[in-house]
Amino acid sequence: MKSLQLTCVTVLLCLATLPATAQRYAARREGDIVQLTDTGTDTRVSIAPSIGNIAFRMTVKGHDVLRWPHADMAAFKSNPNQTGIPFMGPWINRLDEQAFYANGKRYPFDMSLGNVRGTIPIHGFLTSTSDWHLVSADAGRNGATVTSRLEFFRQPSWMKQWPFAHTIEMTHVLRNGVLEVMATVTNMSAEPMPLSIGFHPYFQLTDSPRNDWTISIGARTHLKLTENKLPTGDTEPIGAPYTGGVPLRDYDIDDGFTDLVRDAQGRATMSVIGKAQRLDVQFGPHYKAAVVWSLKPHSFICFEPMAAITNALNLAQKGIYKELQHVAPGGTWRESFWISPKGF
């Protein structure tokens, strides 16, 4: 009996002292970068809180799932565009004037500040900000997680353009080879804050060229656009190539979609399929719209989860868009989307 007890104690001590590398999940910080690892699926996700909190690489068995056109980190830091999973706020995509509307009021931008540019302002001004603060990075039996926080209200030049005090928390969770990206917005202002945020992920497959990819979009309605890519207010049922089975070789796609097709969990799925590889991107129920962008000859496709359609802030004021979400004073909005690689 004593021998058996010693054996049990020895086993328990060995389990307790197993190195961290024996764990399936890990969350490690190296300088400005946090890397989440799932050894069970050989998946790694790298996030840069100091560069817009962009998840800039996701690899599965060494294959890049996200577009990574940079020679090294220095090149990425100097030009963090068209790569990874950038966050867009306080609005995503285009506005039809240098102003937005909220709660019946017009808020003109101060163009002299330089953080809003263009006759048609696009994608807000938070994409590559260094003001995200790392809150936590943890790993356990159920996954690896990193959370960062952006205190929008602390920046006078941001509040000048978007006078709604709020915070944003972003959590990346790697679990079973699937990456969840969760955004949480808390309104600290005294009025309801309109919500038109989103993400602009750049996806790719490595087993075949873009000409051989097919896509499937979980939506029923296609937005008709003007020449400068603003919704006209008219819609049409979606058709090929959006419903799948048609190679992208014949199409330049820069289109908006709504009336998303939901499963029992309220998620809508967008997919790109190659020779053997496949990426499914699932939007949670509070992502009401999507833009899909893939232009020849570039070998990437963007499935953009959006809380509202392009120019929603101003179309709502005109009575054209009816689904604009708001965060009540003191309230919180939260939603996720999921990236599921298969066949890598």
Distance between CA atoms of residues 224 and 230, nearest Å: 8
The backbone region for 40, taken as left when phi is positive above 0, alpha when psi lies in -120 to 50, beta otherwise, is alpha
Residues of the chain scoring pLDDT < 50: 1-18, 20-21
What pLDDT, on a 0 to 100 scale, did the predictor assign at position 6?
A: 40
Q: Given this model, what pLDDT does residue 244 score?
A: 75
Report the Cα–Cα distance between both ends of the chain, in Å, rounded.
50
Residue with tokens 């285009």: 94
- Report pLDDT for 19: 55
pLDDT for res 307: 98
Supply the pTM of this predicted model.
0.92
Cα–Cα distance, 174 to 60 (Å, whole number): 12
Place of tokens 């998946």: 43
pLDDT score at 37: 98
SS3 121: coil
217 to each of 68, 94, 201, 247, how far by Cα in Å?
A: 24, 21, 15, 13
Q: What is the pLDDT of residue 4?
A: 42
Q: Do 206 and 175 form a contact (C-beta atoms < 8 A)?
A: no
Q: Give the bridge partners for 167, in sequence order.
A: 151, 186
Name 54's Cβ contacts closer than 8 Å, sequence gap at least 6: 47, 48, 80, 83, 84, 85, 86, 87, 127, 128
Q: Where are the alpha helices (DSSP H) in 137-272?
A: 156-161
pLDDT for position 172: 98
